[in-house]
Amino acid sequence: MELKDLTPLLLQRERESSDVDVELLTNTLRGGHAANVHRKDAEAAISRHFVLSKRDTAFQNHTQRYETALEKTYHYVKLIQSGKVDSDAQQIMYDVIGEKLPIQVHRSMFIPTLENQADDEQQAHWLPLATSYRILGAYAQTELGHGSNVQVANGGLEG
């Protein structure tokens, strides 16, 4: 018998001899029993979804991966727009999908910018649109003044 065959047996024996309360530890790390149940429910919802549960992207070419990501984005947004998923579950579900989707900049930069930099009136108008994916934020940067190699007469743009 090889070591790779013994590994599962050795791990199981070590787990059985441990005095660590796994459930208590898990609940502590995940924010309590209720939060852990909530997380498991969100994970189960993704694992049952016919598109969001797809995990075969490692063997896809670039075009296929892009198309799969767009398909997952579509279904994730539709799930959010259904109104059946609270904000905590949205984050858990996104994490369980296991890959960055084309809405990553919107989720990680645009919405937090609205939350942290918009005034109350702006938040009241724009946040519901952004969090329901009725609008999408993006990142754009000009090359002017950002250290580009753009050369023009008279010493360049910054000269």
Taking only the tens place, the pLDDT of each residue in 71-126 is 999 999 999 999 988 888 999 999 999 888 999 999 999 999 999 999 999 999 99
Taking only the tens place, the pLDDT of each residue in 8-65 is 899 999 988 999 998 999 999 989 999 999 989 999 999 999 999 988 888 999 999 9
pLDDT at 151: 58
> Are the CB atoms for 59 and 79 separated by under 8 Å?
no
DSSP string across 94-146: HHHH-S--TTHHIIIIIHHHHHHHS-HHHHHHHHHHHHTTSS-------STTT
Q: What is the CATH number of domain 22-101?
A: 1.10.540.10
**Looking at the chain, which residues constitute the CATH 1.10.540.10 domain(s)?**
22-101, 103-159
Check pLDDT > 90 for residue 67. yes
pLDDT at 148: 58
- Please check whether the domain covering 103-159 is classified as CATH 1.10.540.10: yes
> Are the CB atoms for 84 and 97 separated by under 8 Å?
no
